[in-house]
Amino acid sequence: MTTYFDTAILVKAFVLETDSPGAIRLLEEAGEPFSFSHLHALEIPNAIRRKRFRGEITRAQETAALRAFQSDVDAGRFRHLDYDLAEVFIHAERLSAKFAGDIGARSLDLWHVAAAREGGCATFGSYDARQRKVAALCGLTVVPA
């Protein structure tokens, strides 16, 4: 469990998108269990629900994706990172002070990087250019290359 994936990559395993095959390949290469943070627990279901709101998926697809996600959580395919939640927020604030003004990274993107670092992950998976840059500057190996 040394790779931390941003929510956008994880969602692609539950809702078919054009770049889902690449995201699934990244997940398979990293292996289970997948690192899971407090923010993932909120963001993954919310991202799936927002896809229905935007008309990208039907209600039936939403229900199926949410059930698949919960089934994977229940089966142990995701494992909560061991970190102090307050320390993650403190770390994220430090990252904000250091990088947000120059890189433009969003607060939730910084939170994910902080959670990965506080949780002892060595690798960070994201498609977001700013988040990837922050992760790399923090010493994390960033995937995809």
> pTM of the prediction?
0.94
Other CB atoms within 10 A of residue 69 CB:
23
Which domains are assigned to the chain? 1-145 (3.40.50.1010)
Sign, CA dihedral 63-65-70-71, equals positive
pLDDT tens digits, one per residue of 81-104 = 999 999 999 999 999 999 999 999
Report yes or no: 45 and 69 within 8 Å, Cβ to Cβ.
yes
Q: What is the pLDDT of residue 59?
A: 98
pLDDT tens digits, one per residue of 36-62 = 999 999 999 999 999 999 999 999 999
Helical ranges in the chain per DSSP H = 7-11, 20-30, 38-53, 59-74, 85-95, 101-103, 107-118, 129-137
